[in-house]
Structure 1
Amino acid sequence: MIEGDRELSAMVQELWDNDVNRLQPGKDYRISLQGKAGNNMAINDNSDGAGYPLFSFVDENIFKKETFLAFISLLDNYESDTGKPEIVTPEEEAENHKFLDAIVQTAAMKRAHKYLVEKHLSPQDETQFKKQLYRIWFELYARRGSSRPDSSGFEHVFVGETRGGRTVIGFHNWIQLYLQEKLGHIDYKGYSVDANSPQPDENRHILALQFSWKKGIKTKGSIFMGVSPEFEFALYTLCFLTSPNERVKVQFSFYDVEIVCHHHNQKHIGTTYPVLLRYQNQE
């Protein structure tokens, strides 16, 4: 592992250790992985590896916590179809700012901010830092194939989008997945593994899944399970600002992970998600 990755790994470990709102698998939430998903892209694929929902239980008391509450309020603010321009109302803009206000007060985000200031990548002033976060995550831009602003980093990563009505893009957040499944909008198809993937574990926090949503299919969506919004927000912001390589390998807790983080015009997050390489200390 190169030195920069080692330093970033230590930083991510700190974020992990500071994620006091993380849910505990098997206690605060339970999932049922069932079978391996098929490789077929069709929505009516007969090789569905799961006859039951992914989530069998989530302690929704966690959703009353400030950052969860503020995060969930943002999930209904977007047009899922790429190509349809986004219109941000004053109420939605206020919700974005309320979320950032809550996030920057958390231990994880404070630690990330301190590190970014030390690296001269973020302003020390909290108001200016929030402006930087707003630009990275919430400023609208035109995604591929669109001439008008129809997307943002936040929408793509945390809410999910559809392209051409048949393909789900983005959508890398467990809270959105749980809430959409609860509403009956998600059909979980099974877990995704390839020759290089470790066998998934219901008691670990990183999974690759296949599911359908809004008549589209997500053939392989990699997701942190049970973590808080502030952990993901801090981690992805850190990777976006520190790594021009768009892929960075980090080690923390039980995981060797590659964080994919594509930039859009060097100003915004195009997409970002974890790819589990292996469980540490596992024979």
Structure 2
Amino acid sequence: MAKGQQADKELTDVLNQLWRLDTNRLRPGTDYIISLQGRAGYVAQGSNYARDNAKAPLFTYVNEDKLKGIKTYLHFMNLLDNYEVSTGVSETVTSEEQKENMLFIDSIMETNVMKCAHKYLVRKGQSQSDPGQFKKQLYDIWFRLYHRDRSGGEDSCGFEHVFVGETKFDREIMGLHNWIQFYLQEKHNHIDYKGYKARQGKDTPDEDDHVLNLQFSWKGLVKAIGGSFIGVSPEFEMALFTIIFLMSTEKRTSVVVKVDEYVLELVVYRHRGSIGTSYPTLLSSNHRDL
């Protein structure tokens, strides 16, 4: 581990419990195959140009039977078309979309990953033991609408920002830190993967890494670097970032943890009682860091 990086031991312990329980995680080389290709290039501030150092897509193959056959993935994917991408455009949540949100929360609450997270948060005094109350808490954290652009109505929520992605004034990509959304957008030629960013202690990531720092274009805009888990289940990400959100009252929380072989910086921004954004940054994936 690089000098100055101190892993949070308690969070490391609980997040490794979640990692071990994440049996819905897809297996690299079997359930999906990625092609990392070249390194991400320099992007000037305010620019929407990046040299394409990856001529082929990031995802070569994904087992869609698993995506459609695992309940949490299926309910997750049903949410991805429920949002207006541009900030400043008010969101309207229909009764059908609200039902989809609840079906997703119900499905993740059935997993051992979310049960473990709930149990930990109850023990730490951050959640009530009643599952129904915890579901309401999850809804408020992830799905409650709020103003991101003050010029309009309620135009955003944590789920939209982190998992779906947003654009700001047609100048900037915000969020979009989810591999399933990335894959589906790439499949429909909406995302162009540009390359990866090297991490500390190792020049080249491995194609079986479960965390990557990526550069891509989307909707005519460029994201210089965005951290994303790869292959993990929706419930794992929801559990992990919910814990970090509830264990801090700071507007910006950054913790360094060691999950499996990965040394990560996990960042969560608070928007009052909801998540503003959350994402991982891969710092190292070297077994000598153990």
1:54 and 2:58 matched: yes
Report deviation, 1:243.
2.8
What are structure 1's unaligned runs of at least 5 residues? none
The verdict on how the C-alpha distance between 1:198 and 1:248 changes in structure 2, with shifts beyond 3 A counting, is farther
Decide which of 256, 262, 277 is 1:271's aligned counterpart: 277
What are structure 2's unaligned runs of at least 5 residues? none
Report deviation, 1:214.
1.1
Decide which of 123, 128, 136 is 1:123's aligned counterpart: 128
Q: Is the 8 A contact 1:82 1:146 kept in 2?
A: no
For 1:178, the equivalent position in structure 2 comes to: 183
SS of 2:16 mapped into structure 1: helix
For 1:159, the equivalent position in structure 2 comes to: 164
Letter in 2 for 1:209: L
1:194 and 1:19 map into 2 onto residues whose CA distance is 25
Report deviation, 1:144.
4.3
1:258 and 2:265 matched: yes
Letter in 2 for 1:48: D
1:204 and 2:209 matched: yes
Q: Is the 8 A contact 2:87 2:167 kept in 1?
A: yes
TM-score normalised over the length of structure 1: 0.94
1:230 and 2:205 matched: no
**Structure 1 stretch displaced more, 54-63 or 143-152:** 143-152
Report deviation, 1:197.
7.2
1:197 and 1:232 map into 2 onto residues whose CA distance is 25
1:189 and 2:216 matched: no
For 1:80, the equivalent position in structure 2 comes to: 85
What root-mean-square deviation, in Å, do the aligned CA atoms of Structure 1 and Structure 2 show?
1.8
Report deviation, 1:133.
0.4
For 2:24, the equivalent position in structure 1 comes to: 21
Q: Is the 8 A contact 1:198 1:277 kept in 2?
A: no
Q: Is the 8 A contact 2:202 2:286 kept in 1?
A: no
SS of 1:200 mapped into structure 2: coil
Letter in 1 for 2:58: L
Number of aligned pairs?
Answer: 280
Q: Within 5 Å, give how 1:95-110 maps onto structure 2.
A: 95-110=100-115
- Identical amino acids, percent of aligned pairs: 52
TM-score normalised over the length of structure 2: 0.92
